[in-house]
Structure 1
Amino acid sequence: MPRQPVEADFPAPAVVKIFPAPENTPLTHAVVLLHGLGDTLDNFAHLADRLPLPQATIIVLQAPNPMPFDLGGFHWGHDLVFARNPNDANDEQLTPEAEFGVAKNLLGQVVIRDVLVGKCGFTAATDIILWGYAQGAMVALDVAASHTPVRAVVSVGGWMPIYVRPRDILDERPTEVLVCGGASAKSDITAERYELLTAIFPHLKRLRFNKPDDVMPSTTDEMAPILRFLLMILIPDELRKQGLIK
């Protein structure tokens, strides 16, 4: 059985907050939360503190790069990238698209391989789950595609970075992926981006929130399918006993 990680296990530049598994439950999984562009780990720390996940320790990881110009917050890319607004040729908008080499090394090599696997005894392919929002979700998907596969990814409003192509992935990833987003044309999870994910991750599910934008779930109804997805990984035997899955 893996051991509970502590903050001292994580070398710089990793900045984390850790929420141990509930008392009197066996520790079997690690869930890593990745915030969005321009945010800090604090908002996801509030989420982690409220997640009812048995048998799992939750690690909230902060992006490695501070936002410029005293804007506050952090981002996952080498640089900030601006793209032309499709509705206004004279307007450029900040986009989550970026090169994620540093962030991928931080998450894939330092956090997953060196700490969770190397020091704490988790197995990446069976025990580690990534949950990212927007740019953080893009990093999670990129790591799951290019590093040792993890058990599952929850992506809210994130897609595979544009530089990743299925032909570059030598084999289909066994990672279970839940892609969440809005239910309108405003969603960034376009048909093309979803098709790219299906080519890499055959175990892919989609969840559309009853709202136009790709924002984090804010109601019990929105959170319930994500929790069910996670619980089917964490405690499938208990759910089978209750008749909730076959």
Structure 2
Amino acid sequence: MPPTRIPTEEDFASIFPSHPTFPATQTSPISLVYPNPRESTTSILLLLHGLGDSEAPFTTFARNLSLPGVLSISIRGTAPLPALLTSTNNPNNQQQQGYHWGDDITFSSSSGQLDPDPGFATARRWITERLIGEVLLRRCGWEVGDVMVFGFGQGGSVALGLGSWLRRGGFEGSSEGASEGGGDGNGDGLGGRALKGVVSVGGGLPLSMVPPPVRGGGGVVGKAKTPVLVCCGRESEAVDADAEEVLEREFETVKVVRWNRSDDGMPRSRGEVLPMMQFFAERLRSGWL
């Protein structure tokens, strides 16, 4: 493991071609927001946008959060959303292109709505193997426990899924993680570890990102140790009673905050933002709030 250093834009350049949207866009799939000064960086926050959005608005959100000592990395979804499913009135405007995190676009046979869990293996692999594993850990010397994840909607589901998936350990076929008591058999070498924290707004945990039983042992993987905060509307469909039960079953530490309004959108008031800021402050172990 190299000595810890603050990642630069150049550190990520080598992984851009592996992002599924890069061949079509030829643009960086991430955007970095550094604390002031850069040298104060002690933690990293990954931001995952919602269905049909892009990394750009979440770069602005990261600047507005202005978490002390936190390098924020806003990430583009791993697949473009078909024009017929976007809300823009000008589908030829490439700047309005929206993205999603799913392996496919599927619809529920019962409701006709988009399936909230189409599988997220492509997004999981790129974030864990490329961005976290290759750049942050192996190239820059950071630890999984230095990384927090914030996500909205579908991005919130992926954020929770990352916190859930990384608990895997001791799986057959693991490489780097095997010597460290971890490894998920998928090449990222991050199994059996916990993130610094996850915040999901309006997104539940997708069952496709709940690890299966340990191979050969017949047992089950224990609860994920990543601390979790989920914020949602009081009538949230994505985080209903069943989804809350899944969260409590899969994570050791989870808090669900239901806002007074019914819908799940991004926080609009100080009262809605406050639980998030308190969570971040606690996870950063700082007394700035």
**8 Å contact kept, 1:3–1:27:** no
* RCO higher in structure (CA 8 A, sep ≥6): 1
Q: Which of 224, 234, 241 does residue 183 from structure 1 map onto? A: 234
**8 Å contact kept, 1:37–1:96:** no
Letter in 2 for 1:75: H
Residue 61 of structure 1: how far off its partner (Å): 0.5
- The aligned residue for residue 149 of structure 2 is 130
Distance 1:54 1:167 in 2: 37
Q: Please, which moves more after superposition, 66-75 or 222-231?
A: 66-75
Q: Please, which moves more after superposition, 214-223 or 168-177?
A: 168-177
Residue 216 of structure 1: how far off its partner (Å): 1.0
- In the alignment, structure 1 segments of 5+ residues that lack a partner are 87-91
Q: Which of 180, 191, 194 does residue 149 from structure 1 map onto? A: 194
- The aligned residue for residue 105 of structure 1 is 125
Distance 1:124 1:35 in 2: 21
**8 Å contact kept, 2:161–2:210:** no
**8 Å contact kept, 1:166–1:199:** no
- The aligned residue for residue 255 of structure 2 is 205
Percent same amino acid at aligned positions? 32
Matched residue SS, 2:108:
strand
Letter in 1 for 2:160: L
Q: Which of 45, 51, 59 does residue 73 from structure 2 map onto? A: 59
Letter in 1 for 2:222: D
- The aligned residue for residue 11 of structure 2 is 9
Distance 2:36 2:259 in 1: 29
Tell whether 2:243 aligns with 1:193. yes
- The aligned residue for residue 228 of structure 1 is 278
Per-residue CA shift, 1:167-225, capped at 9, x if unaligned? 645122111100110012x4420111111111111111111112101111122221111
Residue 154 of structure 1: how far off its partner (Å): 0.2
Report matched runs for 1:8-47 at 5 Å: 8-10=10-12, 11-12=15-16, 13-14=18-19, 15-23=29-37, 26-47=40-61
Matched residue count: 232
**8 Å contact kept, 1:177–1:204:** yes
Query: Residues 6 and 85 of structure 1: is their aligned pair in 2 closer, same or farther, counting only changes over 3 Å?
Result: farther
Letter in 2 for 1:57: L
- In the alignment, structure 2 segments of 5+ residues that lack a partner are 20-28, 87-96, 167-192, 214-219
Residue 149 of structure 1: how far off its partner (Å): 2.0
Residue 52 of structure 1: how far off its partner (Å): 2.5
Q: More strand by proportion, 1 or 2?
A: 1
Q: Please, what TM-score do these two structures have when normalized by structure 1?
A: 0.86
Tell whether 2:177 aligns with 1:163. no
Distance 2:114 2:221 in 1: 32
